């Protein structure tokens, strides 16, 4: 926040201008965990988009808390996460995708629950896994570009994640899989 006063007019009321929070760069200059912590400490709401080539993954924040993550990588799709976790069969996913193509206004998760292919609890667990997997994969990228925008898509499902717990979980997972 910046206070602006016209020169020589100290008696006028202060005008306060709120400057947009701007953050962009690459993970070679500032490591991703540091970027995530900056956003948490700033208690900011918006979207951090991280790009490597044609793949873009976004981490959505509300008041400094990670609430969701999205990706254009096919491996990060919810259906794939649910199948990999054993919450959904490949056959039921295919049936759900056919219905999804017909009902574009509904999210795939809603279609899978409505048709009994997955329980609401398993959908919720799958969504949390999806977000964690997306963020985990960002930690594996050597150098990527990032930018932050103070906007969150209106259809974001708000989950809550503790950043320190998430980073600790990711570090443990990296060690296990190394």
Confidence category of residue 1, pLDDT binned at 50, 70, 90: very low
Confidence category of residue 96, pLDDT binned at 50, 70, 90: very high
Min mean pLDDT across 13-17, 68-72, 90-94 is at 13-17
The pLDDT tens digits for 131-168 are 999 999 999 998 999 999 999 998 888 998 988 899 89
Task: Find the mean pLDDT for residues 17-38.
Answer: 79
Rg (CA), the chain: 20
Contacts of 117 (CB under 8 A, 6+ apart): 88, 89, 92, 93, 95, 96
pLDDT at 70: 95
pLDDT at 22: 63
d(CA 96, CA 107): 10
**Number of compact structural domains in the chain:** 1
Q: Is the pLDDT of residue 40 over 50?
A: yes
Q: How many Cα neighbours within 13 Å face the side chain of 93?
A: 15
Output the average pLDDT for the chain.
87
pTM of the predicted protein model: 0.82
Query: What is the residue range of 57's domain?
Result: 2-177
């Amino acid at each position: 926040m910046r206070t602006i006063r016209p020169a020589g007019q100290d008696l006028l009321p202060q005008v306060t201008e709120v400057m947009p929070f701007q953050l962009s760069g690459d993970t070679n200059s500032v490591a991703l965990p540091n970027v995530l912590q900056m956003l948490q400490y700033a208690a900011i709401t918006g979207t951090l988009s991280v790009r490597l080539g044609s793949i873009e993954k976004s981490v959505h924040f509300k008041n400094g808390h990670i609430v969701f993550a999205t990706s254009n990588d096919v491996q990060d799709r919810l259906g794939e996460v649910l199948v990999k976790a054993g919450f959904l069969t490949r056959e039921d996913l295919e049936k759900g995708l056919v219905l999804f193509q017909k009902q574009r206004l509904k999210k795939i998760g809603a279609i899978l629950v409505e048709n009994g292919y997955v329980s609401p609890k398993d959908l919720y667990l799958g969504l949390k896994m999806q977000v964690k997997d997306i963020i985990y994969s960002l930690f594996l990228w050597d150098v990527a570009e990032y930018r932050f925008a103070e906007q969150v898509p209106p259809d974001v499902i708000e989950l809550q994640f503790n950043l320190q717990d998430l980073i600790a979980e990711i570090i443990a997972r990296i060690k296990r899989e190394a």
